[in-house]
Chains A and B, each alone.
Chain A
Amino acid sequence: MSDLERIVVLAGGLSPEREVSLRSGDRVCDALIEAGIHAIVADADSALLSLLRADPPSAVFPAIHGVCGEDGAIREVLGLLGVPYVGSVASACQMAFDKPTAKALTAAAGLVTPSSVTLPRETFHDLGAAAVIDLIVAKLGLPLYVKPSRGGSALGAGPVRTAAELPAALLSCFAYGDIALIERFISGTEVAVGVIDLGHGPQALPAVEIVPGEGEYDYAARYTAGKTEFYVPARLPAEVADEVARIAIAAHTVLGLRDLSRTDLIVDDTGTPYFLEVNVSPGMTETSTLPLALEASGHSFGSTCVSLLEQAAARGA
């Protein structure tokens, strides 16, 4: 029986990923209750601080995605409160959540990541969008992939096959954030690799191969059951599977992450894996890849959540 007395699962938030976060939070909370632990879901709203102060929990499990949840803000506040929590510290989250920063740091550590540029919308305005777009296409070539520099669930993200498509893609991107990350599009096998550290160092879970039913692995494909096929372990040659695991652990380590993370990669047709981004609060829904990988590797979802929380509680604030 666990020593955990009371757990608060943080879910919701005000980012467009709120709905997903609530599903993740409910799933974690249900698993904890099933494991016999008193757990509740709480939102990151004006009632949270009173709740945490009035009856401090043994630990908090942050399951908020996007801004507030993954940018380090809520963890900074948990640190101020002295409440133990699962996952990475605020400063590491800040680096991981900002995709260009994460790419730069992992590239400096020797990981391969698609060449890219990062530009705020003001730059297009100040210098002239058409001229900047011409430069981007001339430098990076086509196709491209455009996404907000911060955010997840592929919201505001999409491929660009011709130069004429780039303005519309940038408009979609800027609807979700003011800075665009424009990457060279890598065609290949999309994989997600979870990393768990249960006190013996970061361990990579089996890679999950993502095959969207039609089109892109977009928001609908991510969170609609049956819209995407998952292969666990990914159908990769053994040496490539080892390599994506190594990259996920390296990204986790280089960015100073803690407890759990999920790295997204593309393996191109030559078998070269490209680091795309890392998530410090991975989705925990029934269609999310990290729970699939846990299950495939023989970890029970609930007992893993409990172990992470016990570790956090033992570690303290």
Chain B
Amino acid sequence: MVASEIRALFAVAARPEIVSLAGGSPYVAALPLDAVGAMIGELIASQGATALQYCTAQGDAGLRERICDVMALEQIRAHPDEVVVTVGSQQALDLLTRIFIDPGDVILVEAPSYVGALGAFASYQANVVHVAMDEDGLIPEALEEAIRRTAAAGRRAKFLYTVPNYQNPAGVTLAAGRRHRILDICRRAGLLVVEDNPYGLLGFDGEPMRALRADDADGVVYLGSFSKTIAAGLRVGWAVAPTAIREKLILAAESAVLCHSSFSQLTVREYLNTQPWLEQIKDFRELYRERRDAMLSALSRMMPPECHWTQPAGGFFVWLRLPDGIHSKAMLPRAISSRVAYVPGTGFYADGSGGQYARLCYSLPDPERIGEGIRRLVSVIETEIQLRDDFGPA
């Protein structure tokens, strides 16, 4: 199935008649929109000339201070001067890839990995090498093996890209016991770690995980984002990087956009200064926990025994493994006809493998719709099982 055909199917998936478990968007409707609106009005009234003006490429100093407060929740100690504000963390990914990667350079990533990162890496013609994960995240032995193989091929990986918490798309989290090991392996190999952490504050159990950056300020570039904790539409993310990399990031950001939107930055700053943002994150966590529970419950009740899925402890995603011989991309038209959508696993592998997997997102539909979506999906999978048995694997 070609890309244009997939696009055509997703054009249908956006319709409200379809239960979309595809997406990946945060449920921004849960924000106190009236309060945010009033806050923005006040911001323009009192600081309009600043909010609507250029600013520095590194970002608003007041916002960078607040970003340090946010990162402290994950045990990161950082100075505002170490922070670079970016257009979502996606821009930070793009800039880092531009800085580090020449065509053919190796980047190690999880298997599967975030589609937006893979897109950025592909646009700079990186050679992406996937490293296996299990239910505890990246497997240290697999990482060592990937580094060894890369070296044996006469190449050196430029960095490891990882989403350690509630990973997109797999929903798994790098276990606390593995974190030091992963850092140690990378340190010994001289391998920079790019830690992308958009979901870190959206864990459902206990305190936020300690960030990798908290234990290795020199070897980790940390990428953060307000897209999931405040609002994706503001497009405010940030990077914290060792000095030499940070300076290049600022120059690259200046070259790319001159400066990030002052209005968005000041909106986030004011939100953090004046709104009960920690309470709001708690509300988000409860909302997503309820939806996660609805999805896991529906999967347990209805999915055929040949299917397996991850058990996310936070974030937005469940990673579904389909029965052998069933291809998630080939199954998509039937799913859309049955009015349910998901993202085929192939998008999360640089080589387009992963057809046996599908990413299911529970962040947008309410629990009842999630149950209905899984019911429809089960019916589709059951038909695919019959087709596989009749005609062989897809």
Contact = CB atoms under 8 A, between A and B. Distances in A.
Q: What are the nearest 6 A-B pairs in CB distance?
A: A19-B11, A167-B391, A175-B333, A129-B390, A220-B4, A19-B8
Contacts of A153: 8
B17 A14 contact: yes
A16 B391 contact: no
Contact of B7 (A19, A172, A174): A19
B15 interface: yes
A176 B12 CA distance: 14
A14 B2 CA distance: 20
Contact of A16 (B15, B330, B336, B386): B336
A8 interface: no
Interface in A13-27: 14-20, 22
B342 to A, nearest CB: 14
B330 A171 contact: yes
A125 B8 contact: no
Contacts of A172: 330
B392 interface: yes
B5 A219 contact: yes
Interface residues of A, number: 30
Nearest to B330: A175
B331 interface: yes
A89 interface: no
Interface in B194-252: none
13 contacts: A14-B339, A17-B8, A18-B11, A45-B17, A121-B387, A121-B390, A124-B390, A125-B390, A155-B333, A156-B333, A168-B394, A171-B391, A176-B333
B334 interface: yes
Nearest to B16: A45
A220 B2 contact: yes
Contacts of A17: 8
B55 interface: no
Contacts of A125: 386, 390
A219 B2 contact: yes
Contact of A170 (B15, B333, B337, B391): B391
B281 interface: no
A218 interface: yes
A85 interface: no
A187 interface: no
B51 interface: no
A224 interface: yes
Interface string B1-35: 01111011101100111100000000000000000
A171 B394 contact: yes
Contacts of B16: 45
The secondary-structure label for the interface of chain A is: helix
A223 interface: yes
Q: Which of B11, B15, B334, B391 neighbours the largest number of chain A CB atoms within 10 Å of its CB?
A: B391
Contact of B337 (A121, A176, A218): A176
Contacts of A175: 330-334
B18 A14 contact: yes
Given A153-B8, A171-B394, A175-B334, 20 more contacts: A14-B12, A14-B15, A14-B17, A16-B8, A16-B9, A16-B12, A19-B12, A20-B8, A121-B387, A121-B390, A125-B386, A125-B390, A155-B333, A167-B391, A168-B391, A171-B391, A175-B331, A176-B334, A176-B337, A219-B8
A129 B5 CA distance: 27
Interface string A10-43: 0010111111101000000000000000000000
A155 B7 CA distance: 13
A45 to B, nearest CB: 7
Contacts of A14: 12, 15, 17-18, 339
Q: Which of B3, B11, B16 neighbours the largest number of chain A CB atoms within 10 Å of its CB?
A: B11
Nearest to A20: B8
Contacts of B4: 219-220, 223-224
Interface in A106-125: 121, 124-125
Nearest to B332: A175
B394 A15 contact: no
Contacts of A12: 15
A18 B12 contact: yes
Interface in A62-111: none
A125 B331 CA distance: 18
B367 to A, nearest CB: 22
B11 A22 contact: yes
A256 to B, nearest CB: 28
Given A14-B15, A16-B336, A156-B333, A218 B391 contact: no
Contacts of B387: 121, 171, 174
A155 B5 CA distance: 8
Interface in A203-238: 218-220, 223-224
Contacts of B334: 174-176
B391 A124 contact: yes
Interface string B303-338: 000000000000000000000000000111110110
Contacts of A19: 7-8, 11-12
